[in-house]
Amino acid sequence: MKKRLFSPGPTPVPERVLLSMAEPLFHHRDPAFEEVFREVREGLKYVFQTEQDVLILASSGTGAMEAAVVNTLCEGDAVLVVRGGKFGERWAEICEAYGLRVVPVDAVWGEAIDPILVQRSLEADPEIRAVMVQACETSTGVLHPVKELCDIVREREDTIIIVDAISALGAVDLPMDRWGIDVMVAGSQKALMLPPGLSFVALSEKAWRFVKRSTLPKYYFDLEAELRSQRKNQTHFTPAISLVVGLREALRMIKEEGLQNIFERHKLLARAVQEAVRAMGLELLADSPSPTLTAIKLPSGIDGQELKRRLEDRYGLIVAGGQEHLKGRIIRIAHMGYFEPSDILQVVAALELELKGMGYPVELGRGVSAAQKVFEEADL
């Protein structure tokens, strides 16, 4: 049976990218790699919408999160962490591991953070040196108001904003320089259409000044050392060569489609899923849903883990379940990266069938019809 990924990472990898990664390896200190790396560095600036260097690390996205912490902060620094899901909690866990004082600003899982709460916390505690937030909280499908948070932090010379864009970059408009994002991190296995294994981090000039004062321990994730190497189109340590080659091809595909077209495509796919969900009589979890994934509340009597298993066993469709207290209560359907309307119609049709098979009184075709209407109106 064919397996199709609708999970929020890893996501589908285009055939062009897979074929490029199947090419014979070359040595990472050879001129051939330097040429690939040069092209990749320029392509990442395009996706990050920045003039700053975008550093490439051989790690998962969590590695870039840790690098962002240890390179900009000092032991005992206070940090404001937006906690509205599993990955907001991860920011706090990383900071606590390095002896930072975490000031949590909590949002209900499924709700975007109110910027006023962040502003009040900053005013109440002038010692806060960083604000950490997810652009998209992957565990809930919520899109947080990053621009508004940047506006709050921008005028504070002693505070930076660090954004986890792992499940947003390349699908959501996050203009790093224009909005004033100080540190932005991402991972390869989301909208960048690659397998897991690479992470990315870019820093503003303001953030690089924080790097100069940072005293937290670092070795592998020493961004100053990486910057020196990567400006010579090398890496400080051995890179994931095949993934970098695949990234070059993925970035070429992104440039061919164009960022604005990509943003609009993701909005369209998300709207089709959302309208299908509503047509089936279901509700979204997120009050501010991300264009990259949709978290769906399940009706009483429908176990999310069982629904997830049936979708995979019967149709080869791999969706994600809920985490922590949402386990069994939601499913998450991703549509970031290498997705098109036919993928959405397929997963909506299968979802209808399995919900009906599990006793939910859905009229077959209602969700599919709603999604089709969205695509019809878009005049594809």
Q: What pLDDT digit, counting tens, does each position of 89-100 carry?
A: 999 999 999 999
Based on the fold, state whether residues 210 and 280 are members of the same structural domain. no
Q: 71 with 214: CB under 8 angstroms?
A: yes
Per-residue confidence at 30, pLDDT binned at 50, 70, 90? confident
Peptide bond into 10 cis (omega under 30): yes
Question: Is the pLDDT assigned to residue 287 strictly greater than 90?
Answer: yes
Q: Are residues 199 and 299 part of one domain? A: no
pLDDT, tens digit, for every residue of 122-172? 999 999 999 999 999 999 999 999 999 999 999 999 999 999 999 999 999
Q: Which residues pair with 132 in a beta bridge?
A: 81, 162
Q: How many domains does the chain have?
A: 2
pTM reported for the whole predicted model: 0.97
The model's pLDDT over 46-101, given as tens digits with 9 standing for 90+, comes to 999 999 999 999 999 999 999 999 999 999 999 999 999 999 999 999 999 999 99
Q: Are both 265 and 120 inside the same structural domain?
A: no
Would residue 355 count as lying in a domain? yes
Q: In the structure, what pLDDT confidence band is assigned to residue 354 with cuts at 50, 70 and 90?
A: very high
- Does 112 share its domain with 22? yes
> Among 200, 233, 256, where does a domain finish?
256
Where does a domain end: 210, 240, 256? Answer: 256
Are residues 107 and 145 both part of a single domain? Answer: yes
Choosing from 227, 256, 285, the residue where a domain stops is 256
Structure tokens at 337: 């990266």
Q: Is pLDDT larger for residue 338 or for residue 24?
A: 338
Cα 191 from Cα 208, distance rounded (Å): 27
Mark 33-53 as b/e (b = at least 16 C-beta within 10 Å): beebbebbbebbbebbbbebb
Residue 88, C-beta contacts closer than 8 angstroms, at least 6 positions apart: 81, 82, 107, 133, 134, 137
Q: Say if residue 380's pLDDT is above 80.
A: no
In which domain, by residue range, is 350 found?
258-377
- CATH number at 155 reads 3.40.640.10
Give a yes or no: residue 7 inside a domain: no
The answer as to whether 2 is a domain residue is no
